[in-house]
Chains A and B, each alone.
Chain A
Amino acid sequence: MRDLLDDRPIKLRRERSATPATGRPFVVAIVLCLLAGLLFALDRQGLITPARQAAQQLLVPVAQRLTALRDGAAELATAPRSEDALRAQVVELQQANGELQAELLRREQAQVENVFLRQQLEIQRANPWTLLGAEVTVRSPDAGRRVLTIARGERDGVRPGMAVIGQTPGNPAALIGIVETVGPRAAEVLLITDIGSQVSGRVMHTGRAEVGLVQGQWQRGSRLRLEQISRATPIADGDPVVTAGLTAALNLPFDLAAIPADIPIGSVEQVSSAEQYQSAELRPFVDSDQVRYVWVILSQDG
């Protein structure tokens, strides 16, 4: 690292140095801060965004491999530890091994892809959506922002504002985020749990439906909140919430959103009332931290 980053080796001093410190580093700090601020302003204006996205594309394949490595290690860490569980797993693995011996390595890869494609097919059968499968390459790098990077981009037909869904075992395919920015081969997805995400939602209770606003709450200590529901509408714990498809019509600040209706979002967990409105905490159907493969809804026509 020293060879790559520093021109010359440094010496740590154990006693106070006779070399007087000057204000030069602080001048350098101010100059670098101004440079970073300038880059920030230029990127906000969109002037250097194409260059940033081009540089990002170079890093996507490496990030993809490292994420796969991390997921593999996580699986290893969560493997069963007790003797009984291990014995059961050994039996299962022996059976699986017998089957796998007859197959080639390429077929194994094809089976993995097949699982995702079958899942995609089932979702498409149940819904009028055209889907595009995408691997998750990078998850939220900071505590303060909920985003994903996926390995599909403009060349695959992905556009800003498209809905992104995921599925975990035992749950319906559900909305996890909205494509925020798109590069040629990768796209950034703002998760619905981020404070910056606002989606129109429809809560269903005993045959009645009421439209409200689903607001991300992660930075406020929870996940999702359904707001602006009239007090006249009865809602209760467990009521499902789906997208209303009205985000564009409501003219929300997230102006790129145009999300199809009836995408499952989550279920009502706790209802509270204030003035003429009700609001509710929501439990998302899909935990975005668990998904490794997602689908972008390219169109609603199927």
Chain B
Amino acid sequence: MLALVGLALVQVTLLTTPLGFAAPLMLVLVVSRTLLGVGAAFPDLGLTRALRWALYGGLALDLLAATPLGAHALALLLAAFAVAAATRRMRVERLLIPLAAIVVAAPIYEITLALLTQPGPVEWRSYAQVVILPATLAALVLMLPTFFVLRRVLRGQL
């Protein structure tokens, strides 16, 4: 959990993009962890751990951001849940799977955050152009390096 708090700190301080928001490192980590969980020898255990990452990482982001406790956690959990459900019967070794997973997960994450934190009705068209699309692209850039680094860190006995 301490490592996730540290990574959340890195996201909100060091990874600010020129567009004025932070690259979604925690989302990418949770999605990567979910895929590795799906592909593990014991998928139930792997997925449960991924969901724990989503909760802890989300709460860490909530502590660092001006959002009510649970908002980021819920967004990450839903993204992880969607990725787990969509990739349960797939082979995560394929290169396109992590990219496809983050393309699915990033909009779910951003939409959930918008619903939980935006005041009043959200103008989805402009929100998609200004928020969801740039955030998804930033996540796409981070996805493959993060996935392979995390796989190397976690594989241990492969």
Contacts and interface: CB of A to CB of B under 8 A. Distances in A.
Interface of A: 1-2, 4-6, 9-14, 17, 19, 21-22, 24-26, 28-29, 32-33, 35-44, 48, 52, 55-56, 59, 62-63, 66-67, 69-70, 138-147, 149, 180-181, 188, 190, 195-196, 218-221, 253, 289
Contact of A221 (B10, B24, B129): B129
Interface in B24-39: 24, 36-37, 39
B127 A144 contact: yes
Given A12-B36, A144-B113, A180-B66, A63 B13 contact: yes
B105 interface: no
Given A28-B51, A36-B73, A13 B9 contact: no
Contact of B156 (A9, A42, A52, A147): A9
Contact of A190 (B16, B66, B151, B155): B66
Given A9-B156, A219-B118, A69 B14 contact: yes
A59 B127 CA distance: 30
Given A11-B41, A138-B13, A141-B65, 6 more contacts: A2-B153, A13-B40, A22-B44, A25-B48, A143-B21, A196-B118
Nearest to B123: A220
A36 B58 contact: yes
Interface of B: 1-5, 9-14, 16, 19-22, 24, 36-37, 39-49, 51-55, 58-59, 61-71, 73-74, 77-78, 80-81, 84-85, 88, 92-93, 110, 113-114, 116-120, 122-123, 126-127, 129-132, 134-135, 138, 151, 153-158
Contact of A39 (B69, B78, B110): B69
11 contacts: A10-B37, A11-B156, A12-B151, A24-B44, A29-B51, A32-B77, A139-B20, A142-B24, A143-B110, A143-B134, A180-B66
A5 B3 contact: yes
A41 B19 CA distance: 31
Contacts of A139: 12, 16, 20, 22
A25 B70 CA distance: 19
B48 A70 contact: no
- Listed from nearest, the 6 A-B pairs whose CB atoms lie closest are A40-B70, A39-B70, A25-B47, A66-B13, A9-B156, A43-B68
B69 A12 contact: no
Contact of B21 (A1, A37, A142, A190): A142
Contacts of A142: 21-22, 24, 65, 67, 110, 113, 135
Nearest to B33: A5
Nearest to A8: B45
A258 B81 CA distance: 43
B156 A10 contact: yes
Nearest to B56: A5
A39 B134 contact: no
A147 B66 CA distance: 7
A258 B129 CA distance: 33
B137 to A, nearest CB: 10
Contacts of A11: 40-42, 155-158
Given A70-B16, A140-B20, A219 B131 contact: yes
Contact of B93 (A14, A138, A196): A14
A51 to B, nearest CB: 8
A143 B19 contact: yes
Given A1-B3, A10-B49, A43-B68, A66 B155 contact: no
B7 to A, nearest CB: 9
Contacts of B117: 144-145
Contact of A141 (B11, B80, B138): B11
Contacts of A32: 51-52, 54-55, 73, 77
A26 B113 contact: no
A33 B70 CA distance: 9
A63 B73 CA distance: 20
Instruction: Identify the interface centre among B41, B69, B81: most chain A CB within 10 Å of its CB.
Output: B69
Contacts of A55: 63
Contacts of A36: 55, 58-59, 70, 73-74, 77
